[in-house]
Amino acid sequence: MERFLAAVVQMASGSHRDANLERARTLIEQAAARGARLVVLPEVFAWRGPRTDEAAQAETIPGPTTEAMSAVARATGMHLCMGSILEHVPNQRRSFNTSCLLGPDGALLARYRKIHLFDVDLPGRVTVRESDARAPGDETVVVATELGVLGLSICYDLRFPELYRRLVRAGAEILLVPSAFTFTTGSAHWDVLCRARAIENQSYLLAADQCGASPHGFADYGGSLIADPWGTIVARAGDGEGVALAEIDRAYLAKVRSELPCLDHARLE
């Protein structure tokens, strides 16, 4: 499909799974009513709570959350990136932070396990150790669909350009970045990083973020956006929960890549 509408969903997820899933369904349906064919949810959209509770909240894939979202994808007839959920790993205390892509028939098309984990300790300010409760993935994921070729990533991955170049070398045209960026790092770097990944890879980038108060004791940034292959932000969510839409034009993407063929000129891998 050469042209279609895509949406990023911004949420303030908490520790009540059923409420989160219902809110996600409502926002997806809003996007569908406005014509979206592809929707991206935020990182850990289905449940966010204390790290010590994550093992108990992790689930299998397929499992309850994928089944619930599969029904939504079928009902709306769209491709749905489930942001990410905590995936249970047999015989391990840590979970994978996993993004699932569902087709318009509800089928599970792909899963991506977050490669880069966010560990930071700023004394007196904030301590985040994602690796305490989550295990890193080790595979990049690119999915060919009727909408174009999608490249999957999650949040902190955004700071590692080599991942996105690998996705584009594998054919990606649309980069998906479900996130839960902190307000401190988001206010400084979110727009710059999203635009940079779009510009240097001459790709559309769909970044869906959490907003509001994090259960980990700090504020999330929000700022969910869609950037085009020239690096222009063509859609942005408001301050709270909501949906932002923009047109994806693959002919425009091809035009950008042909008129400034820097991907063909790269000499280092």
Please identify every residue annotated as catalytic.
43, 114, 155
Tokens (6 digits) for 184: 């401190």
Half-sphere exposure of residue 21, counting CA atoms within 13 Å on the CB side?
14
Contacts of 124 (CB under 8 A, 6+ apart): none
Rg of the chain over Cα atoms, rounded to whole angstroms, equals 17
Q: How far apart are CA 89 and CA 45, in angstroms?
A: 19
Q: Is 191 exposed, middle or buried (0-12, 13-18, 19+ CB in 10 A)?
A: middle
Contacts of 247 (CB under 8 A, 6+ apart): 3, 4, 5, 6, 234
Q: What is residue 59's three-state secondary structure?
A: strand
Element containing residue 96 per DSSP (H, E): strand 95-102
